[in-house]
Amino acid sequence: SAMAAVRTVEIDPEGTFKYILVRLQRRGGGEQRDIVRGTGAAEFHNHIFEKVNPEMEKLGYECKCLGGGKIEHNSKDKKIRVFGLSTGYGKADHSVTVEILKKEYTDYEITWSDDKK
């Protein structure tokens, strides 16, 4: 399916940056899945959504932002920490984000918390 062609995770390889959890759904319901997008290039969480949304609409998906937070990605130590929240979208369910990240970064230690920093 076209949905399988959409990468589940696209995050910066290093650093601490904002991320959002996005639910994709086929127009008219049916198939859906959650994806994680994060980048240091985004000053605000909605900048990430504004990039993802048109890309997914072209593929025939509706996007809904389920919330956001921050990701601290340390590729040298193979560690990812998910924390914080988005002022605009609210806090993503970091436990869901971690499960998604674990499928992509199988040899990483991945943790989350409700800490702001």
Q: Does domain 9-113 have CATH number 3.50.20.20?
A: yes
* Mean pLDDT of the 24-50 span: 93
d(CA 31, CA 111) in angstroms, rounded, equals: 28
pLDDT band per the 50, 70, 90 thresholds, residue 2? low
pLDDT band per the 50, 70, 90 thresholds, residue 31? confident
Mean residue pLDDT across the chain: 94
Catalytic residue (choose from 45, 47, 73, 94): 45
Counting beta carbons within 10 angstroms of the beta carbon of residue 115, is it exposed (0 to 12), middle (13 to 18) or buried (19 or more)? exposed
Counting beta carbons within 10 angstroms of the beta carbon of residue 42, is it exposed (0 to 12), middle (13 to 18) or buried (19 or more)? buried
Contact 68, 21 (CB under 8 A): yes
pLDDT digits (tens, 9 = 90+) for 49-98: 999 999 999 988 999 999 999 999 999 999 999 999 999 999 999 999 99
- Please check if 18 is assigned to a binding site: yes
Q: Is 45 a catalytic residue?
A: yes
